[in-house]
């Protein structure tokens, strides 16, 4: 990518899209195409058609998606499959029509079979049944990966796909109803500290293991792969290391400076025992994560506490 190239970041206000924008700006790219969902409804075929024809971007990052936790995925099943398939299909198809040089599509770890062996290797895709609660979302993401490969096969498009692990970072969701485990723990411990509460309750046994990647590391990897990777299939992006939820809670507790106890609500589910990415392919391509988990949590906690003080 040259500094003068026109780069479209779909979903630039989300956690992933905003991290990609920050990375590109840091690298000196100024010709960035950004549209909010109010300005451009990516589900609207004609609107995307007109936008791509008028703007003619050179490069495209597809970070736009309808996302949510287990409850949202399971409740809005029709919206999750329809909205995601429409958004990505409109962008990918019109990227080919308008001669985009290269496109990067972002998937999700839920594309892997529920019972896939650990760590998750790229070749495990479509080797078993999906987790039922987020199957519509997973199928949409799998369709995006396969669509990029199909346009590569038929039209020679340089469209690539990446598959990030669990993410955290600026612009994360801290709602206790819909957030993921790390931002939820940050908020719980912070509020308990402010209110001098004697304990914080966490779901389940704390034994499940999860991997966490800072959004800025993901953006760095996407930028690297946009320059270095031109193959079909997709690339896992992660740290290759995981931690138990209990140890994560203890780490967050230390960073926040909360001195009370951690209690377990054993009536709540643990979820999948482990979800670790195999990142050998990414390492072989020459990229590794740089932000350690404690360092990353310290950064996001500083940002969160400032937002919280300002009225989150």
The Cβ of residue 33 has, within 10 Å, a number of other Cβ atoms equal to 19
Question: Helix (H, G, I), strand (E, B), or coil: what is residue 60?
Answer: strand
60 assigned binding-site residue = no
Q: Could you give the angle at the alpha carbon of 67 between the alpha carbons of 38 and 151, nearest 5°? A: 85
Q: Which of 163, 166, 148 is nearest to 230 (CA)?
A: 148
22 labelled ligand-binding: no
The verdict on whether residue 167 carries a ligand-binding annotation is yes
Residue 12, annotated as binding a ligand = yes
Asked if residue 188 belongs to a known ligand binding site, the reply is yes
Is 180 annotated in a binding site? The answer is yes
Structure-token match 């791509």, residue found: 52
Contact 238, 165 (CB under 8 A): yes
Residue 109, annotated ligand binder? yes
Catalytic residues: 137
- Lookup: tokens for 216: 């800025």
Q: Which residue has 């429409």 as its token pair?
A: 86
| Residue 107 annotated as lining a ligand binding site | yes
**Binding site annotation covers 11?**
yes
Length of the chain: 312
Is 187 labeled as ligand-binding? no
Q: Is 273 within any annotated ligand binding site?
A: no
Give the closest residue to 236 by CA, choosing from 126, 154, 151, 161. 161
Strand duo 243-244 + 209-210: pairing: antiparallel
Per the annotation, binding residues for NADP(+) are: 11-17, 106-109, 141, 164-167, 180
Per the annotation, binding residues for substrate are: 188, 203, 210, 270
């Amino acid at each position: 990518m040259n500094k003068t190239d026109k780069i479209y970041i779909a979903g630039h206000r989300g956690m992933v899209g905003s991290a990609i924008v920050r990375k590109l700006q840091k690298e000196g790219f100024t010709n960035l195409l950004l549209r909010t969902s109010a300005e451009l409804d990516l589900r609207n075929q004609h609107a995307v058609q007109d936008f791509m024809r008028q703007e003619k971007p050179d490069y495209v990052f597809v970070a736009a998606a309808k996302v949510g936790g287990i409850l949202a995925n399971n409740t809005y099943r029709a919206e999750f499959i329809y909205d995601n398939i429409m958004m990505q299909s409109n962008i990918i198809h019109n990227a080919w029509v308008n001669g985009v040089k290269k496109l990067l599509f972002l998937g999700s770890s839920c594309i892997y079979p529920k019972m896939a062996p650990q760590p998750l290797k790229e070749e495990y895709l479509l080797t078993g049944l999906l987790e039922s609660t987020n199957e519509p979302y997973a199928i949409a993401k799998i369709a995006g990966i396969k669509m990029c490969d199909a346009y590569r096969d038929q039209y020679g498009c340089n469209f690539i796909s990446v598959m990030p692990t669990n993410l955290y970072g600026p612009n994360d969701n801290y709602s206790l109803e819909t957030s993921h485990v790390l931002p939820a723990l940050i908020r719980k411990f912070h509020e308990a500290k402010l209110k001098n509460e004697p304990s914080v309750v966490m779901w389940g046994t704390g034994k499940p293991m999860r991997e966490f990647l800072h959004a800025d590391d993901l953006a760095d990897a996407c930028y690297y792969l946009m320059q270095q990777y031109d193959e079909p299939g997709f690339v896992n992006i992660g740290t290759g290391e995981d931690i138990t939820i209990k140890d994560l809670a203890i780490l967050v507790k230390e960073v926040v400076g909360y001195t009370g106890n951690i209690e377990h609500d054993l009536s709540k589910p643990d979820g999948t025992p482990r979800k670790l990415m195999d990142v050998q392919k990414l390492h072989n391509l020459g990229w590794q994560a740089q932000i350690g988990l404690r360092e990353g949590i310290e950064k996001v906690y500083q940002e969160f506490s400032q937002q919280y003080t300002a009225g989150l």
